């Protein structure tokens, strides 16, 4: 499996581009092979796959994370449509603590975003009928499920201006700001 790995400005976060083998029918890609990802510097063993479908453009999901002992690293990819994926470094000892990074992912591009444990993660759909799949290396734990408010002005996330009203869950709207968030990752 051939992987193109691009480190991102927040330490540990990566964009991964699996090779696509194209012919007149379309393409074939191996989207995940444990030994190849481990050889490329992503040794995580993923134990759960998640899949979300968002009917409307402008659906905002996040910013989510889990605390120890169920903290999750994620490998995110878009199956249909396009998203603006955003991660926030919550590792208190990190030089990039509290900083966010937007990354556009699309089904056409085939890129994946590796999000290490210790980051909040969320995304906004840029097209209707968008499907996102992501692998996690720890199972869901309701007791460890946490989040960060995507509209926190201190974060300064610039969600797409052309999307006037973000479709969010009540749960996500009620999430705390970075200042209100206890330190979960050191």
Q: List the one residue out of 32, 33, 16, 1 whose CA is nearest residue 115.
A: 16
What is the layout of strands, in order, in the sheet containing 130-136? 3-7, 14-18, 112-115, 74-80, 130-136, 48-54
Look at residues 138, 139, 141, 147 and name the one whose alpha carbon lies nearest to residue 181.
147
| Geometric angle at alpha carbon 19, from 125 and 106, rounded to 5° | 10
Q: Positive or negative CA dihedral for 10, 89, 97, 151?
A: positive
- Backbone angles phi and psi of 169, in degrees to 5: -75, 155
In whole angstroms, give the CA distance from residue 72 to residue 181.
Answer: 18
Contact between 18 and 113 (Cβ < 8 Å): no
User: Furthest-apart CA pair in the chain: how many Å?
Assistant: 54
Catalytic residues: 64, 134
């Amino acid at each position: 499996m051939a992987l193109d790995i691009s480190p991102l400005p927040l330490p540990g976060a990566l964009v991964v581009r699996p090779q696509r083998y194209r012919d007149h029918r379309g393409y074939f890609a191996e989207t995940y092979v444990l030994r190849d990802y481990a050889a490329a510097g992503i040794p995580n063993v993923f134990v759960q796959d998640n899949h979300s479908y968002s009917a409307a453009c402008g659906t905002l999901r996040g910013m989510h994370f889990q605390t120890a002992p169920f903290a999750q690293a994620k490998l995110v990819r878009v199956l249909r449509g396009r998203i603006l994926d955003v991660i926030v470094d919550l590792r208190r000892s990190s030089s990039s603590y509290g900083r966010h990074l937007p990354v556009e992912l699309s089904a056409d591009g085939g890129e994946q975003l590796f999000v290490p444990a210790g980051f909040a993660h969320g995304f906004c759909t840029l097209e209707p009928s968008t499907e996102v799949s992501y692998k996690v290396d720890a199972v869901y734990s309701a007791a460890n499920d946490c989040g960060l408010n995507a509209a926190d002005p201190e974060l300064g996330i610039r969600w797409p201006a052309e999307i006037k009203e973000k479709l969010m869950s009540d749960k996500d709207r009620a999430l705390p700001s970075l200042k209100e968030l206890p330190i979960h990752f050191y």
